[in-house]
Structure 1
Amino acid sequence: MTSIMNIPDLVRRLCAHPREKEWFEFKSSYDEPEKLGQNISAIANAAAISERPNGYIIWGIRDEDHQIVGTRFKPDSKRVKKDDLDHWLSQRLDPLINFRFLTDEVDGKPVVVLLIPRALDRPVRFDNEAYIRVGSHTRKLNSFPEKESLLWRLSSSRTFESGGAIECVNNTDVLGLLDYESYFNLAKIPIPSSTTNLLQSLQHENFISQRDDGSWDILNLGFLAFARNLGDINSLRRKSPRIVKYSGTGRYNGSRQEELPVGYATGFASIIDYVNKLAPTDETFNGGIRKQEPRFPTAAVREVIANALIHQDLTERGTGPLVEIFEDRIEVLNPGAPLVDSKLFVNAPPKSRNEALAALLRRFGICEELGSGWDKIVHEIEMRQLPAPRIDVISNSTRVTVYGAKPLSKMNSDDRIRAIYLHACLRYADEGASITNTTVRQRFGMDRRNSAKASRFLSEALAAGDIVPANPNAGRRFMEYLPYWAGGDADGQGYNVAGRMS
């Protein structure tokens, strides 16, 4: 697999520009090291503003006419106060960026390219001063507040998905690493007949980005969604979903473990199929016909796994989505604490760390539209009168547990309170509807004779603070309830009974 920048192609492409841009500069001779350090800062910041992955300083090019004239500059032998030039520069740049001196011959003449990565989370400074390119001149950044403000905004809006997964890949390797056939199939559009048009389609989706030398970077979004094998690169290998099957209800007896290193979009169906294959089933009889039914609601499990993929913290190293299958439950763990209070999953407007990935998977029907995913999970579970799902935030991870059938007599107080709270949330999501003794009996599959027991369950949830009366002055027989946050200004959450969120 090609992963080395093509210096001659890069130089010729940049020389084809009618004039220098703010993110690259031509030189025919070597500058003083202080001036070079200032230019590195300026070009790193200018590349960020220009939304380029890199900037460049190239020695051996005449600035006036962009003719390749060659250079005698040899960065490896250049020393500054008894220190190597690159080390001397590194000690004075903040943050440290992975700049590189690259040497090659172009048209038989020696050239040196200084590759300068763009500024990422903050402006790059040299000797505690940030610089910027204005036209072909290097100036102090604080003299141009509008550029400084833009640079900070761009730095804060940069996402993991837009970062590079693999650099300097040629056309053939892009198509070998990405399952582009699955993309066009999911998008329901024909595969372009030419490689050029095919690559342009992938670039339009922000799966790949063309470099200045004509090669490609595969971006994290493209690789996470459509990698043929996530294990092809170390940085994303641990993002492969891991599935563990246990033979009982504890973790001490694991019977099967599998890592599925497939892109999330291209391999989602196979992930779900594998989970369904390992998950236990129950034998049922219908009209004298014996049938195996999934123990856990398939649609709910599917949505929980999709949520784990799109809401995980992708910057957490060494960990990824984990699905654990037990006899009585399925637990789905993803790195990263939720951005929304877990008590508000059903009703609060959702937030995702990975909006581009979430939008892509929604577009392909892999997960639900905004705000409806947890509605669907809770609805599917209530339809089968199963124990309510449980959400736990553990350190910097989120775990969702989906349970199999459990008799009401075996449910403890926490199980009942959780079920009633989510029942109230789901009802409220339907145009602000409340819950009553009747709806709670329906939720648990209780008949009318158990009204007193349903009232006792409601009292448990009321005492726990998870629900509140819709009208505190209503008579006992006519009492209706809302989620705790929907009762006026409870907890200062800004919710009201007129809608989901004020």
Structure 2
Amino acid sequence: MAKSEDLVKNLVVLPHEYEWLDFKESWFSKDEIGEYISAISNGAALCGREFGYIVWGIHNSTHEIIGTTVNFDKDVNHEPFKHYLARNLKPSVAFEVEEAQVDGKRLVLLSVPAAKSVPTKFLSQAFIRIGSSKEKLSKFPEWEIRLLNILSNGIPTIVSMAAPDYAQELTFEKLFMYYGAKGVALRKETFKKSLRLLTADGRYNIMALLLSDANDIPIRVSVFSGKSKADTLFSVKEYGNSCILYAMDKILEYGDAINIIQADERGRISERKDVPLFDYEAFHEAVLNAFIHNKWLGMNAPMISVFTDRIEILSHGGLGLEQDLEGFYKGVSIPVNEILASMFLQLRLSERSGRGVPKIVGAYGRESIKIEKNFIVVTIPFNRINVTPFELNEGAGSDVPNGSQKGSQKSSQKSSQKILRLIAENARITTQEMADALGVSRRAIAKQLANMQAEGIVKRIGPDKGGYWKIL
């Protein structure tokens, strides 16, 4: 298959148009095409891409391949159209026009190099893409300043971008402890240079801020009482405002704690089968990827949301600059934060094998990863075994199926259901937190838990302080 056809197929499967990508059907306007070349060229520079593209023969909203009749070889004003475009683009832009056959349909691919040094103009006017709209760059001074800065200094990264002025007095004791625990020695004399923690002018960068003992980047795990964020927020756990390596480990530990092992006795003949609530390896890889590929420049951390039927792990920033969709799903990873990715490799937190996304896809399918323009969400669904008389999203007051139980026994079962619901939502919940949530005394909860342990319904793992509950 021709290279242009491969490229078109990779572009068509992207979920959106971008500052560097536009789809057309058979639309043709001699001057507007020149304006679009200017906009795509400048947009590619803004996004750190080497090229931008316009593809004719694609439905604008559905991305369906429909074919096109557009012709770039026609004459315009008594000269070849390509020559007309090239003559009016400043500085000179070596764009290329290629035809491709995909699914028996004729497509036209216009490849546009990113702007260099100065913005690309058509008929002395620079254009930019705002969302999917083409606009004059002069109408958006903030975008113009950003573009000029990128053309002069390159795309900002967590290494090249300085931390805020108030964050220039940083300490790194936790970082040294973390490296030591992994058996890797850091030298105080050279660690700032070896870990790339300083900008070219000697200031602490965003990378340094992320790894410092104290920062103002909150990393939260939000636990909801239902299946959506419209449901009551049950609890919020803060793991940020410090070295992100420790924060990430805490989130992984939390995931391990809530991954209750369920006894599956369906069709039981001899031994029962223990089934975890979710695939922990997939969860682990999703969290690692979220931290490595998150767009930390905006001081926005990954977000973890726990619902009654799933966990959602959101990272900001979308795909890497040169990452294509098919390569992403196959594990051909192009890190958003290359230096941070190298650190994770050094600490043996991740591998170069690219198994992270394939592991998630293997467990839950491609549909478990939602890729948007500015974020990626990985959904880890819960595999609930229907052996306990409750469903978290149905409320705790539903009756036990066996209608023959009455009086205090039935009341006790309802209390057990409510406690099981709380434990399933938060395995580290304390007795007092259960009492507060259910509006009863701590003594009553302690008595009920003792009965449930005696009956083999739940088990306490570890000490009262620092341990967690396990549903049997």
Larger radius of gyration: 1
Q: Normalization by structure 1: what TM-score?
A: 0.40
Higher relative contact order (CA 8 A, sep 6+): 2
